[in-house]
């Protein structure tokens, strides 16, 4: 794994710093405004704080909320990890990481335990987070009540009065229709017994990781101009009923590469016959396990087929 | 196979290089210059400046070149550039009454003090393709016509036609100027319900197509009240920008910009406090964005429904609907983000779908079994009691 880090850092050093822009792109006034909103969010866990979101050089929907949060809190001493769908080498993660390399020059890593600041889209790393981490989520729709009530003017009132009946009715109706709660990602949570909050579209598999987490978790929705937060060691309850307790996804399969039984698995269609395999969604977790000598069905003694390797690995091996 | 769902840095770099080559096109042809775009694609430049919220024709032209002519992409480039620009001053409100007018029309009156002035408009052209423009050798050295008529020297105020009606209280007033209290959607989050200043700001930078469609819908009956809208006045021209530096204490002109302003009036039935009168809608854009300015005025009028105590029955009157969906940079970002990988969520949905399908299959099997049993029972009953059939 070390050589991957070296490569990444080499790239960081080789990347020329963008001139003509402030450290981390945003001007200091804007950063201060974002930090003030973030502090308010930390003070009122789960409450959506409006903030004057700026246009960023990436489109809305590409993580502009998370990018503004990261830009506002990142410092020279930070080590940044950017992950998308659990992987550090998906296109958008690569693009955001290179943006911060070009505008800050800070060290980057793919390793969860080496990072101080992790920006993520749609996943929480499998490796447990610590007090040394800040997890920044990219959020498309911050309002958990949006699918029941499209109007912001209404949902803000509902939060203010703690009127969460519609949410419980929705979950109840799911059970009545399907026998279980038919929400598999962006599964609503209640923070510190007060605000109902959208965890962003992480799979509900990740929900338990938010509860009592030692790391600060902050959420940024750029287009919707909202910031919210879960302070460290805060109670995060995934909504459920006594007779229908919350449960997470499980698989009959294990990771085809590293054999992990405890991680969120992506299903990959291998060929035209529709054969498929399952692999860890968290690429760093999977690589760490491979390094530690774990192996799955696809990484049997004959070695991994070239096609299953990522480009960056190939480069590293060369 | 694993590589299929991953995108490496190399892939991104290659895509950028490919894009740059596609932007340039056939290298046998001379490259388009920024000043050519600025001069000859001026309406595209105007739109990019208006929706990009930055008056800078050079940068807007550059953005159009970089965006390969895609307006929304160019608007995005300009917005992303302006976002970190420091703000030195808030200018005095521009005074469009003392505009250096290049176009001014009123549809409400045949003639008016100051006169009707068509200016460079497409309005009365016949939309026939001009093949002479395709001939690169033709010299299109056209000069603007000169004015033979006796026009009062451009100077002081050009009166506003609606002011004449306002003197008779046939048109509502415009309210007082409160420049220091104007909100700023680029510096404060949007809060609903929004004031008219905020609504007008949102509409000015809103997508032209969206505002056009919203305005159009009010003309086709999707509004509550108000009569037929009339273009009270549309004017295009240059206005100067003034700021008052603290150390000087008096206003200084720092430049001028071209704007198009549109004022629309329609009959308002009045309320208990207000007598029937013409109510106003206002629109303004950078450059010659006349279509947008008129549409904006229609939507502004429709959105004043709360203030005018009208029932809200149509989309164009619905402030939250209009304001939250009018920005094309927000909209295009969220719509196009569907291109980003979503396999984690998709995996969750697959899981749910498989469970739903297995439940469905179980229920179906159960239903069929119940049906079969009922049929069986019926058959037994029928075969066991043939005399009933006969009796019937």
Q: What distance in Å separates residue B78's CA from the closest CA in chain A?
A: 10
Last residue of a domain, one of B337, B362, B381: B337
Residue B384 domain-assigned? no
Residue B178 domain-assigned? yes
Contact A315, A290 (CB under 8 A): no
Last residue of a domain, one of B307, B337, B367: B337
Q: Is B336 exposed, middle or buried (0-12, 13-18, 19+ CB in 10 A)?
A: middle
Q: Which two tokens stand for residue A48?
A: 């959506």
- Which pLDDT score is estimated for B385? 60
- Return the half-sphere exposure (C-beta side, CA atoms, 13 A cut-off) of residue B230: 16
Predicted confidence (pLDDT) per residue in A58-93, tens digit: 999 999 999 999 999 999 999 999 999 999 988 889
Nearest CA in chain A to B322: A151
CA angle A170, A174, A175 (to 5 degrees): 120
Chain A residues touching residue B341 (CB < 8 angstroms):
84-85, 90-92
Q: Do B348 and A184 touch (CB under 8 A)?
A: yes
Which of A60, A123, A180 is closest, CB to CB, to B330?
Answer: A60
Are residue B74 and residue B104 in the same domain, yes or no? no
In order along its 392 residues, chain B shows pLDDT tens digits of 344 345 577 888 899 999 999 999 999 999 999 999 999 999 999 999 999 999 999 999 999 999 999 999 999 999 999 988 888 888 988 999 999 999 999 988 887 888 888 999 999 888 889 888 888 777 778 888 876 665 555 557 888 888 878 777 888 887 766 656 788 999 899 998 999 999 999 999 999 999 999 999 998 888 876 678 989 999 999 999 999 998 999 999 999 999 999 999 998 888 888 888 899 999 999 999 999 999 999 999 999 999 888 889 999 999 999 999 999 999 999 999 999 888 888 888 888 899 889 989 999 999 999 999 999 999 888 886 655 554 44
Predicted confidence (pLDDT) per residue in A131-150, tens digit: 999 999 999 999 999 989 98
Are residue B17 and residue B127 in the same domain, yes or no? no
Q: Is B106 exposed, middle or buried (0-12, 13-18, 19+ CB in 10 A)?
A: buried
What is the rounded distance in angstroms from the CA atom of residue B261 to the CA atom of residue B104?
9
Chain A residues touching residue B334 (CB < 8 angstroms):
60-61, 140, 223
Q: Do B9 and A11 touch (CB under 8 A)?
A: yes
Contact B236, B102 (CB under 8 A): yes
B339 at interface of A, judged by CB pairs closer than 8 A = no
Interface of B with A in 92-121 (CB under 8 A): none
Q: Which residues, including other chains, have CB under 8 Å from residue B275's CB and lie 6 or more apart?
A: B169
Chain B residues touching residue A174 (CB < 8 angstroms):
none
Are residue B62 and residue B106 in the same domain, yes or no? no
The residue assigned the tokens 């009530």 is A149
Q: What distance in Å separates residue B201's CA from the closest CA in chain A?
A: 15
Sheet containing A236-238: order of strands: A195-197, A189-191, A236-238
Contact A148, A184 (CB under 8 A): no
DSSP reduced 3-state for B282: strand
Q: Which residues of A are the active-site residues?
A: 46, 255, 258, 280, 286
Q: Do A86 and B82 touch (CB under 8 A)?
A: no
Q: What distance in Å separates residue B117's CA from the closest CA in chain A?
A: 39
Q: Do B330 and A87 touch (CB under 8 A)?
A: no
ipTM of the complex: 0.75
Nearest CA in chain A to B318: A151
> What is the arithmetic mean of pLDDT over A254-269?
92
- Which pLDDT score is estimated for B132? 87
In chain B, the number of structural domains is 2
Q: What distance in Å separates residue A39's CA from the closest CA in chain B?
A: 17
Q: Which of A29, A61, A100, A312 to mutate to test the interface with B (most CBs of B within 10 A)?
A: A61
Chain A residues touching residue B190 (CB < 8 angstroms):
50, 225
Interface of B with A in 188-207 (CB under 8 A): 188-193
Q: Do B79 and A55 touch (CB under 8 A)?
A: yes
What average pLDDT does chain A have? 88
Chain B residues touching residue A8 (CB < 8 angstroms):
none
Predicted confidence (pLDDT) per residue in B61-76, tens digit: 999 999 999 999 999 9
- Which pLDDT score is estimated for B125? 87
- Which pLDDT score is estimated for B224? 72
- CB pairs < 8 Å spanning A and B: 171
Are residue B25 and residue B132 in the same domain, yes or no? no
- Which pLDDT score is estimated for A258? 93
Residue B378 domain-assigned? no
Which of B12, B187, B320 is closest, CB to CB, to A94?
Answer: B12
Q: Do A185 and B349 touch (CB under 8 A)?
A: yes
Are residue B323 and residue B250 in the same domain, yes or no? yes
Are residue B167 and residue B52 in the same domain, yes or no? no
Are residue B199 and residue B290 in the same domain, yes or no? yes
Measured in whole angstroms, how far is the alpha carbon of residue B356 from the centre of its chain? 42
Are residue B70 and residue B130 in the same domain, yes or no? no
Chain A residues touching residue B349 (CB < 8 angstroms):
184-185
Residue B62 domain-assigned? yes
Are residue B176 and residue B282 in the same domain, yes or no? yes
Interface of B with A in 4-33 (CB under 8 A): 4-12
Q: Do A271 and B1 touch (CB under 8 A)?
A: yes
- Which pLDDT score is estimated for B387? 57
Q: What distance in Å separates residue B353's CA from the closest CA in chain A?
A: 9
Domain span holding position B75:
9-82
Chain A residues touching residue B335 (CB < 8 angstroms):
61
Residue B24 domain-assigned? yes
- Which pLDDT score is estimated for B152? 55
Q: Do B188 and A52 touch (CB under 8 A)?
A: yes
Nearest CA in chain A to B82: A55
> What is the arithmetic mean of pLDDT over A154-182?
93
Residue B216 domain-assigned? yes
Which of B80, B352, B359 is closest, CB to CB, to A184?
Answer: B352
B329 at interface of A, judged by CB pairs closer than 8 A = yes
Are residue B125 and residue B219 in the same domain, yes or no? yes
Interface of B with A in 356-385 (CB under 8 A): 356, 359
What is the rounded distance in angstroms from the CA atom of residue A58 to the CA atom of residue B329?
10
Contact A122, A93 (CB under 8 A): no
B53 at interface of A, judged by CB pairs closer than 8 A = no
Chain A residues touching residue B348 (CB < 8 angstroms):
184-185, 203-205, 249
Peptide bond into A268 cis (omega under 30): no
Are residue B76 and residue B103 in the same domain, yes or no? no
Residue B376 domain-assigned? no
Q: Which of A49, A51, A55 to mutate to test the interface with B (most CBs of B within 10 A)?
A: A55
- Which pLDDT score is estimated for B280? 92
Which candidate, B264, B200, B275, places its Cα nearest to that of B227?
B264
Are residue B113 and residue B234 in the same domain, yes or no? yes
Q: Do B2 and A309 touch (CB under 8 A)?
A: yes
Chain A residues touching residue B8 (CB < 8 angstroms):
89, 94, 310-312
Instruction: Give the orientation angle of helix A64-73 with respect to helix A91-104, to 10 degrees.
Output: 30
pTM for this entry: 0.84
Nearest CA in chain B to A250: B351
Q: What distance in Å separates residue B154's CA from the closest CA in chain A?
A: 40
Neighbours of B98 (CB within 10 A): 15
Last residue of a domain, one of B39, B55, B82: B82
Residue B46 domain-assigned? yes
Which of A85, A277, A311 is closest, CB to CB, to B3?
Answer: A311
């Amino acid at each position: 794994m070390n050589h991957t880090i070296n490569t990444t850092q080499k790239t960081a050093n080789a990347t020329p710093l963008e001139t003509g822009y402030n450290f981390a792109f945003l001007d200091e006034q804007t950063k201060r405004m974002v930090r003030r909103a973030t502090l308010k969010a930390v003070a009122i866990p789960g409450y959506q704080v409006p903030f004057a979101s700026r246009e960023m050089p990436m489109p809305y929907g590409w993580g502009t909320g998370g990018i503004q949060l990261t830009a506002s809190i990142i410092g020279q001493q930070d080590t940044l990890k950017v992950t998308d769908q659990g992987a550090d080498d998906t296109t958008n993660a690569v693009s955001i990481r290179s943006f911060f390399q070009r505008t800050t020059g800070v060290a980057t890593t793919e390793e969860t335990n080496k990072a101080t600041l992790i920006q993520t889209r749609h996943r929480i790393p499998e490796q447990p987070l610590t007090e040394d981490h800040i997890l920044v989520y990219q959020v498309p729709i911050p309002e958990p009540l949006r699918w029941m009530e499209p109007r912001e003017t209404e949902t803000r009132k509902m939060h203010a009065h703690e009127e969460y009946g519609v949410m419980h009715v929705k979950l109840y109706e799911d059970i009545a229709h399907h026998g279980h709660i038919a929400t598999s990602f962006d599964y609503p949570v209640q923070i510190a017994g007060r605000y109902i909050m959208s965890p962003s579209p992480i799979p509900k598999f990740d929900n338990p990781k938010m509860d009592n987490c030692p790391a600060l978790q902050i959420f940024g929705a750029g287009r919707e101009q909202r910031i919210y937060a879960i302070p460290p060691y805060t109670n995060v309850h995934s909504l459920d009923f006594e007779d229908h307790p919350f449960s997470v996804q499980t698989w009959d399969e294990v990771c085809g590469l590293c054999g992990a039984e405890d991680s969120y698995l992506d299903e990959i269609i291998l060929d035209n016959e529709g054969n498929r395999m399952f692999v860890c969604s968290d690429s760093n977790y999977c690589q760490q396990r491979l390094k530690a000598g774990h192996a799955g069905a696809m990484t049997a003694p004959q070695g991994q087929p070239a096609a299953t390797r990522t480009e960056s690995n190939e480069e590293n091996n060369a | 196979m694993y590589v299929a769902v991953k995108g490496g840095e190399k892939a991104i770099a290659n895509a950028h290089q490919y894009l740059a080559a596609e932007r340039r096109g056939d290298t046998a042809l001379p490259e388009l210059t920024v000043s050519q775009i600025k001069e000859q694609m001026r309406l595209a430049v105007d739109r990019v400046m208006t929706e990009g919220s930055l008056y800078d024709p050079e940068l807007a032209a550059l953005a159009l070149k970089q965006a390969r002519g895609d307006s929304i992409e160019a608007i995005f480039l300009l917005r992303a550039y302006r976002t970190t620009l420091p703000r030195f001053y808030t200018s005095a409100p521009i005074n469009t009454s003392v505009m250096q007018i290049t176009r001014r029309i009123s549809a409400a009156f045949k003639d008016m003090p100051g006169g009707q002035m068509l200016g460079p408009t497409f309005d009365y052209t016949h939309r026939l393709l001009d093949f002479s423009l395709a001939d690169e050798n033709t010299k299109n050295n056209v000069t603007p016509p000169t004015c033979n008529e006796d026009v009062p020297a451009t100077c002081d105020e050009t009166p506003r036609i609606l002011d004449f009606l306002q003197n008779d209280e046939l048109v509502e007033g415009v309210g007082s100027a409160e420049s220091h209290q104007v909100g700023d959607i680029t510096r404060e989050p949007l809060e609903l319900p929004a004031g008219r200043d905020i609504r007008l700001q949102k509409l000015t930078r809103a997508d032209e197509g969206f505002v056009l469609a919203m305005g159009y819908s009010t003309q086709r009956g999707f509004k509550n009240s108000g009569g037929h809208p009339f273009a009270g006045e549309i004017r295009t021209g240059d206005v100067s920008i003034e700021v008052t530096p603290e150390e000087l204490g008096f206003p200084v002109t720092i430049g001028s910009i071209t704007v198009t302003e549109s004022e629309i009036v329609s009959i308002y039935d009045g309320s208990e406090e207000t007598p029937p009168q013409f109510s106003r809608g206002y629109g303004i854009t950078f450059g010659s964005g006349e279509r947008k300015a008129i549409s904006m005025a229609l939507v502004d009028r429709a959105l004043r429904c709360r203030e005018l105590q009208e029932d809200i029955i149509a989309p164009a009157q619905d402030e939250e609907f209009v304001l939250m969906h009018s920005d094309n940079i927000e909209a295009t970002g969220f719509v196009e983000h569907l291109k980003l990988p979503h396999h984690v969520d998709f995996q969750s949905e697959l899981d749910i779908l498989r469970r739903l399908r297995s439940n469905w299959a179980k229920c179906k099997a159960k239903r069929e079994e119940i049906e079969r049993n009922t049929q069986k029972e019926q058959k037994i009953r029928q075969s066991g009691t043939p005399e009933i059939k006969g009796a019937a």
